[in-house]
Amino acid sequence: MTERRRPVDRPRRAALDVLTAVRVDEAYANLVLPQVLRKHRLDGRDAALATELASGAIRMQGLYDPVIDACLTKPKLQPEVRDVLRLGVHQLLSMRVPDHAAISTSVDLVRASVGQGPAGLVNAVLRKVSRRPLPDWIDAVAPDRATDPHGHLAVAHSHPRWVVDALAEALGDDAELEALLVADNAAPRVTLAARPGLADVEELVAAGGTRTSLSPYGVVLAGGDPSGVPAVAEGRAGVQDEGSQLVALAMTDAPLDGRDERWLDLCAGPGGKAALLASLAAQRGAHLVANERQPHRADLVASAVRAVPPGAVHVLAGDGTRPPWVPGTFDRVLVDAPCSGLGALRRRPESRWRRRPSDVEVLVGLQQVLLDVALESVRPGGVVVYATCSPVVAETADVVRAVLGRRDDTDELDRFQLWPHREGTDAMFAVTLRRRGLA
């Protein structure tokens, strides 16, 4: 009886709330987390613990579920109980929580959230899990590495098998595949972009950051809440992966002959790149049209560019496949296409489990149309950057090849593919194209 009344600690209760919201409401963990932390009045170390528990348990479920299943005597498990077990396994196999604490808090948690019924099962499963270290469990539940290398890595590093295959194809061979999967499971550093003319990098360095090596506007924060940095709160700087900064700069820095005044961001929401582009446009006497199909995301773009002088940017809510402007209007165009996001798995713990191969097939059609529109929207001699936060070949090189194969007026100037395990950025792809002829 005394056991039953023991209060559940708030970080674990909060982490379970996040897993429930992700499973039941299809919530995004990174969006629901701040609300849940507020509800449970968690900050500092407790907030960090709840975040690690929830993110880790969701991200690593591709490994933890076979471990849990190997410890069950009956195949059926209530989803609510599995969530508690995932949190428990994460503490036992991937965190430094002592076994007795991980097990007893999980038993308390299932009692409080589901009832007394599954308490014995949770206790028994977690005791079994605690008897072997992580490498032994991987050997026990993952396919054999020699005969099925991708199958092995998929379980060992908790990625869907088809994602492992697609990432291997994008890398070209398997030499760096494991390093990439490991990088996908590590929390990304928080990077800020100082928007030129509005904030300078020194101001962000003074707020406790260090300069990034690839983007001249980037600063990595040592820790803390970025919204507490005054330049971020005022829209003069923004949270932005260094890879995204490099994509925006590929568009603004591509060599261009002739007029350089009219810029377009065809798929601008939520507006991180548009804010960097708009601040550069303001400095260079150019004007940016930031277009986004979804009105609520267009509102986010308007908020992202709020510190930019109004004459330098105009936000438009419209379908980029049916643009209102006449062909050849723009000098520079960025098409940061809707994509599978498989290059940004570090940021969204649940996204790898939501995506399906069929999503890529649907997106590829839209990506081709948007790239075609971008090339129609730019004047002869103008430049287009096509970018994705996915390295998947079908969404990157294949889209470019298909679209250029139908046109005879476009040259490729440059392309890059960034990687979390190499550059420490999201796996951003960008290709710079120029329409032949000078206006």
d(CA 344, CA 420): 9
Regarding 395 and contact with ligand SAM (CB under 6 A), the answer is no
Q: At its nearest, how many Å lie between ligand SAM and the CB of residue 289? A: 12
Tokens standing for 355? 């995506």
Tokens standing for 406? 């139908």
Compute how many residues bind ligand SAM; rule: CB under 6 A.
Answer: 19
Tokens standing for 221? 């924060």
Q: Which of 71, 267, 339, 389 is catalytic?
A: 389
How many other C-beta atoms lie within 10 A of the C-beta of residue 78?
13
Regarding 297 and contact with ligand SAM (CB under 6 A), the answer is yes
d(CA 431, CA 387): 7
Identify how many contiguous H helices and E strands the chain contains and give both numbers. Answer: 20, 11
Buried b (16+ CB within 10 A) or exposed e, 248-258: bbbbbebeeee
Taken in order 350, 352, 357, 359, the sign of the CA dihedral is positive
d(CA 370, CA 349): 28
State the binding string over 174-213 for ligand SAM (x if CB under 6 A, else -).
Answer: ----------------------------------------
Q: Which of 268, 360, 378, 392 binds ligand SAM (CB under 6 A)?
A: 268
The residues in 7-66 that bind ligand SAM, with binding defined as CB under 6 A, are none
Listed in sequence order, the residues at least 6 apart from 26 whose beta carbon sits closer than 8 Å to its beta carbon are 354
Residue 106: closest CA among 34, 22, 6, 202? 6
d(CA 226, CA 238): 9
Q: At its nearest, how many Å lie between ligand SAM and the CB of residue 242? A: 13
Q: At its nearest, how many Å lie between ligand SAM and the CB of residue 375? A: 15
Regarding 292 and contact with ligand SAM (CB under 6 A), the answer is yes
Extract the runs of DSSP E, i.e. beta strands, from 318-393: 330-336, 378-388
Residue 238: closest CA among 210, 198, 298, 290? 198
d(CA 365, CA 199): 39
Which residue number is nearest to ligand SAM in terms of Cβ?
320
Q: At its nearest, how many Å lie between ligand SAM and the CB of residue 270? A: 5
Q: At its nearest, how many Å lie between ligand SAM and the CB of residue 238? A: 9
Q: Which of 293, 332, 347, 379 binds ligand SAM (CB under 6 A)?
A: 293
Q: At its nearest, how many Å lie between ligand SAM and the CB of residue 277? A: 9
- Interface region with ligand SAM, contact rule CB under 6 A, candidates 12-20, 31-39, 66-74, 264-272: 264-272
Q: Which of 184, 336, 350, 423 binds ligand SAM (CB under 6 A)?
A: 336
71 in active site: no
Regarding 321 and contact with ligand SAM (CB under 6 A), the answer is yes
d(CA 275, CA 290): 9
State the binding string over 300-319 for ligand SAM (x if CB under 6 A, else -).
Answer: -------------------x
Q: Which is nearer to ligand SAM, 130 or 244 (CB)?
A: 244
Q: Which is nearer to ligand SAM, 61 or 245 (CB)?
A: 245
User: In 157-212, which residue ranges form alpha helices assigned H by DSSP?
Assistant: 161-171, 177-184, 201-206
Regarding 87 and contact with ligand SAM (CB under 6 A), the answer is no
Q: Which of 271, 343, 391, 420 binds ligand SAM (CB under 6 A)?
A: 271
Triad 396, 350, 54: Cα angle to 5°? 145
d(CA 381, CA 349): 42
Q: Which of 90, 273, 346, 355 binds ligand SAM (CB under 6 A)?
A: 273
Regarding 320 and contact with ligand SAM (CB under 6 A), the answer is yes
User: In 142-225, which residue ranges form alpha helices assigned H by DSSP?
Assistant: 149-156, 161-171, 177-184, 201-206
Q: At its nearest, how many Å lie between ligand SAM and the CB of residue 255? A: 22
Place of tokens 């090339």: 375
Q: At its nearest, how many Å lie between ligand SAM and the CB of residue 381? A: 24
Regarding 428 and contact with ligand SAM (CB under 6 A), the answer is no
The residues in 208-247 that bind ligand SAM, with binding defined as CB under 6 A, are 244
Q: Which of 171, 267, 277, 278 binds ligand SAM (CB under 6 A)?
A: 267
Enzyme catalytic residues: 389
Return residues touching ligand SAM (CB under 6 A): 244, 267-273, 291-294, 297, 319-321, 336, 338, 389
